[in-house]
Amino acid sequence: MILQKPVILLFGKNGQVGFELQRALSPLGLVHAFGRQDCDLANLSQVRNVVSQLRPDIIVNASAYTAVDKAESEPQVAYLINAAVPSALAEEAASIGALLIHYSTDYVFDGMQTGWYVEDDIPNPQSVYGTSKLAGESGIAATGCRNLIFRTSWVFGAHGGNFAKTILRLAKERESLNVIADQYGAPTSAHLIADITAQVIVRYWNEVNREHFPYGIYHLVAAGETTWYDYAKYVIAYAEKTGIKLRLKSGAIEAIPSVNYPSPAPRPSNSKLDSGKLRKTFDLTLPDWHQDMVPVLEKIITV
């Protein structure tokens, strides 16, 4: 239950997470959703003006520069969207007493650690993308605004481009496929991210003493772990069960090491984020990634 509904300002409405946030947040309050066509994120003055004019109670920033490899050749753009924009939003949030919710990534870590990453582990990004996202986290913290930063990984959804969609497309075109088998993480749906965000917002808005609300950084990923290779096999096996026509069979996927697939930006070998802090703080249950994926795959396959 949510009392006297808040004014919510959403940036990045057309991305995977932003698309789902429009659905999840609309029952909670008056949502003003902005995409690139509504607000030029490269114009920080315009971004600030949107906030100052609407004076929202809650700002949700789902905008991001996510072209990981391209960021290596255009770092200025990556830093503008991933660092300067969230920092500006945080400053505006601080000035009006609003809550800022922002999304970050497993790429803030170097992926060399064994086991699961917790929020207090020291970041060490290895790419422009990861460094720019960490700069966004730091910029938000420096303002002292009320903020929640959700780090997530391997995001997929029925809307927008992602690994699951790519695998299904390739499975219709090819009879064999090589997929990396030495990078670990948890696929996490945009639907889950949006729903958890909505639940936390309800907690925040109904909080009597918001000064003592548990602000800060939280890891938000589905439970369990897998590799890109096993992830691809799962997607194909699920598609086969539905009777969809594919050229590629799940047994025709070849596991390869990441060194055989070089890219401009290095990927973390270990992207496993521990969501224990989020679950315990807000009394939440996060599904296993297989369970999280099924309804999204159903939508993707039937489109």
- Total domain count for the chain? 1
- Domain contains 131: yes
Give the active site residues: 129
- Domain contains 52: yes
Residue-level pLDDT at 55? 98
**Gyration radius from the chain CA atoms:** 19
Per-residue pLDDT of the chain (303 residues; tens, 9 = 90+): 556 899 999 999 999 999 999 999 999 999 999 998 999 999 999 999 999 999 999 999 999 999 999 999 999 999 999 999 999 999 999 999 999 999 999 999 999 999 999 999 999 999 999 999 999 999 999 999 999 999 999 999 999 999 999 999 999 999 999 999 999 999 999 999 999 999 999 999 999 899 999 999 999 999 999 999 999 999 999 999 998 889 998 789 999 999 999 999 999 999 999 999 999 999 999 999 999 999 999 999 886
CA distances to 32, 63, 111, 181 from 10, in Å: 6, 9, 31, 36
- Domain contains 261: no
Three-state secondary structure of 161-192: CCHHHHHHHHHHHCCCEEEECCCEECCEEHHH
CA distances to 27, 198, 206 from 282, in Å: 20, 12, 13
Q: Taking CA 195 as the corner, what is the angle to CA 101 and CA 187, rounded to the nearest 5 degrees? A: 95
Q: In which element (H, E) is residue 58 found?
A: strand 58-61
- Render pLDDT for 74-107 as a digit per residue (tens, 0 to 9): 999 999 999 999 999 999 999 999 999 999 999 9
Instruction: Give CA–CA dist 293/221, Å, rounded.
Output: 12
Residue-level pLDDT at 86? 98
Instruction: Give CA–CA dist 255/226, Å, rounded.
Output: 13
- Render pLDDT for 170-210 as a digit per residue (tens, 0 to 9): 999 999 999 999 999 999 999 999 999 999 999 999 998 99
Helix, strand, coil percentages in the chain from 3-state DSSP, rounded to 5: 45, 15, 40
- Domain contains 76: yes
Are the C-beta atoms of residues 140 and 149 closer than 8 Å to each other? yes
Instruction: Give CA–CA dist 156/33, Å, rounded.
Output: 21
Question: Per the structure block, which two tokens stand in for 280?
Answer: 């315990």
Question: Per the structure block, which two tokens stand in for 1?
Answer: 């239950």
Domain that holds residue 111: 7-161+186-223+270-288
Q: Taking CA 8 as the corner, what is the angle to CA 61 and CA 207, rounded to the nearest 5 degrees? A: 105
Q: What is the CATH number of the domain that holds 30?
A: 3.40.50.720
- Domain contains 38: yes
Are the C-beta atoms of residues 78 and 65 closer than 8 Å to each other? yes
- Domain contains 68: yes
- Domain contains 35: yes
- Domain contains 170: no
Helices (H), the chain: 16-25, 44-54, 75-79, 85-96, 128-143, 163-173, 190-205, 228-241, 276-282, 289-302
